[in-house]
Amino acid sequence: MAKNQILTQSAEETMALAKRLARHLKGGAIICLYGDLGCGKTTFVKGMASGLKINPTKVNSPTFVLMNIYEGKSPLYHFDFYRLETVDEIGAIGYDEFLYGDGISVIEWAERFGSLLPKEYLSVKFSHKGEGKRLLRFQAKGGKYKELLIKATQSQINKCCFVSM
Ligand SMILES: Nc1ncnc2c1ncn2[C@@H]1O[C@H](COP(=O)(O)OP(=O)(O)O)[C@@H](O)[C@H]1O
Ligand SMILES: [Mg+2]
C-alpha cells in the first residue's frame, strides 16, 4: 500500500481518523475532499467537527446553501459544492473571507472550485473498497500541508485503522 493512504473499515473509523487530524489543524487550514456520493466525505467532516469540539450531529450536507458554519474550538466552514452550477455562485457567497480567514475550511466536491481552487490545501480522495471500506488518499499541496501530514503521521492519526500511512 502506497504512502499516505488509509483504509477505514467503518464510518466510525473514518470519523476517528478525521477527529485526530482535526486536532492538528491550525486556523486558516483548507481541506479539500473528493469522491463519489456516499464515499464518506460528510462522515469525515463529522469527525473533524468532533475534533474541534463541535457536536457532530450538527453536521449534514448543506442542501440549499453552499456553506454551513459551526462554532467550535475554531470555526469550521463546511462547503459542499455538489449542487453548484457555476463557479460564480462561490464568488457570490464571499467564500474568500472564510477560506482565507482564521477558521478551518473543509470542502466537499472541491473539484468544482474551478479557477477559484486555492493554491495550498490538503487533498483527501475517497474511494469505495467494498462493504464498509473506504480508501482515503492524502496529498499535501504546499509546504504547510506537507508538514501537517508529517506531524499527523508521527502522531499516528491512523492508529484507529488497519493500514498505515
Ligand atoms: N469506512 C467508511 N467510511 C465512511 N463512511 C462509511 C464507511 N463505511 C460505510 N460508510 C457509510 O457510507 C455513507 C457515507 O455517506 P456520506 O459521508 O454522506 O458520503 P458523501 O458525503 O461522500 O456523499 C454513510 O452512510 C456511512 O455510514
Ligand atoms: Mg456529503
Among 5, 41, 43, 137, which residue has the most ligand 1 atoms within 8 Å of its CB, making it the best to mutate? 43
Which residue ranges form the domains of the chain, and what is each CATH number?
Answer: 5-154 (3.40.50.300)
Question: Distance between CA atoms of 145 and 135, rounded to whole angstroms?
Answer: 20
Q: Whose CA is nearest to atom 17 of ligand 1?
A: 40
Does pTM surpass 0.85? yes
pLDDT tens across the length of the chain (165 residues): 457 999 999 999 999 999 999 999 999 999 999 999 999 999 999 999 999 999 999 998 866 789 999 999 999 999 999 999 999 999 999 999 999 999 999 999 999 999 999 999 999 999 999 999 999 999 999 999 999 999 998 888 877 665 544
pLDDT of residue 158: 77
**Beta carbon of 46 within 6 Å of any ligand 1 atom:** no
Q: Whose CA is nearest to atom 27 of ligand 1?
A: 11
3-state DSSP of 127-150: EECCCCCEEEEEEEECHHHHHHHH
Strands 67-70 and 134-141, sheet pairing: unpaired
pLDDT of residue 103: 97
pLDDT of residue 164: 45
Residue 108 CA, closest ligand 1 atom number:
21
pLDDT of residue 157: 81
Q: Sign of torsion, CA 16 59 39 80?
A: negative
pLDDT of residue 160: 66
pLDDT of residue 154: 86
Region at 38 (left for phi over 0; alpha for psi -120 to 50; beta for the rest): left
